Amino acid sequence: MGMDTQQMRQTRIMLTALGKTQMSPKLLSILGIGVGVVCFWLATMLHSGGYDLNRDYLSTLLRDPAIPARIPAIAGMLFLCVSIALVFERLAHAVEFSKNSKVIRIAGIGSMVYASLTFTFMHDLLVTISLIFFLIAVCALIQALYVSREIGFFIAGGLCFVVLVASATIYYTGYYVSVLPWAQRATFVLFAIWLVSLDWGFPRNHLRESEMAVGTMVSRKGV
What band does 6 get if pLDDT is binned at 50, 70 and 90? Answer: low
Residues 104-137, buried b or exposed e (16+ Cβ, 10 A)? bbbbbbbbbbbbbbbbeeeeeebbebbbebbbbb
Domain borders along the chain are 24-202
What confidence tens digit (pLDDT) does each residue in 192-219 have?
999 999 998 886 544 444 444 434 443 4
Determine the Cα–Cα distance for residues 9 and 117; give it in Å rounded to an integer: 50
pTM of the model: 0.80
Query: Average pLDDT, stretch 185-193?
Result: 95
Query: Average pLDDT, stretch 24-46?
Result: 91
Q: Is the pLDDT of residue 221 over 50?
A: no
What confidence tens digit (pLDDT) does each residue in 87-142 have?
999 999 887 888 899 999 999 999 999 999 999 889 999 999 999 999 999 999 99
pLDDT at position 203 is 67
pLDDT at position 167 is 95
What band does 1 get if pLDDT is binned at 50, 70 and 90? Answer: very low
Determine the Cα–Cα distance for residues 166 and 152; give it in Å rounded to an integer: 21
